[in-house]
Structure 1
Amino acid sequence: MKYTIEKSVFNLNQNIKFGIIIGKNIRNTQTTLKDEQRLRNAEDKMREIYKAEQVRELTNVASYREVMTKAGINPNKFPASVEAMFKRILKGSQLPTINALVDLCNAVSIENVISLGAHDLIDLKDDLEVRISRDGDVFLPFGAEEYENVEKGELVFTSGNKVQTRKWVWRQSELGKTTLNSKNVFFQIVGFDDKQKSSLCKTMEDIEHLVINRFHGTCEKYIVDLQTQTINF
Structure 2
Amino acid sequence: MSKFVIKDDFWELFPQAEIAVVVAKRIDNTEASAEPVRPDIIELLEKANEDAKKFITKDPLSENEVIAVWRDAFKKFKTKKGARCSIEALLKRVQKGKEVGCINPLVDLYNAVSLSFGLPCGGEDIDTFAGDMRLTVAEGGEPFLALGDEEYDEALPGEIIYKDDEGAVCRCWNWRDGQRTMLTEDTKNAFLIIESVDPGRSGDLRQAAQKLEELTVKFLGGTARIEFMNINKKEIPL
TM-score (norm. length: structure 2): 0.88
Amino acid at match of 1:37: E
Shift of 1:51: 4.4
The root-mean-square deviation of aligned C-alpha atoms, in Å, is: 2.3
Which position in structure 2 is the counterpart of 1:39?
Answer: 45
Aligned partners of 1:52 and 1:90 also within 8 Å: no
3-state SS, counterpart of residue 23 of structure 1: strand
Aligned partners of 2:29 and 2:187 also within 8 Å: yes
Aligned partners of 2:16 and 2:231 also within 8 Å: yes
Shift of 1:163: 0.7
Alignment of 1:74-153 (within 5 A): 77-144=82-149, 146-153=151-158
The answer to whether 1:18 aligns with 2:19 is yes
Choose 104-113 or 207-216, whichever is displaced more: 207-216
Which position in structure 2 is the counterpart of 1:6?
Answer: 7
> Which residue, out of 67, 90, 96, partners 1:61?
67
Number of corresponding residues = 232
> What is the alpha-carbon distance in structure 2 between the residues aligned to residue 142 and residue 216 of structure 1?
26
Structure 2 residues not aligned, in runs of 5+:
none
Deviation track 1:21-68 (CA, whole Å, cap 9, x = no partner) reads 110001113361221111111112223662472643444422222121
Aligned partners of 1:158 and 1:164 also within 8 Å: yes
Shift of 1:83: 0.2
The answer to whether 1:231 aligns with 2:236 is yes
Choose 50-59 or 118-127, whichever is displaced more: 50-59
The answer to whether 1:70 aligns with 2:76 is yes
Deviation track 1:84-118 (CA, whole Å, cap 9, x = no partner) reads 11011111111231121111211111001000011
> What is the alpha-carbon distance in structure 1 between the residues aligned to residue 98 and residue 140 of structure 2?
39
Choose 160-169 or 26-35, whichever is displaced more: 26-35
The answer to whether 1:212 aligns with 2:212 is no
TM-score (norm. length: structure 1): 0.90
Aligned partners of 1:191 and 1:199 also within 8 Å: no
3-state SS, counterpart of residue 53 of structure 1: coil
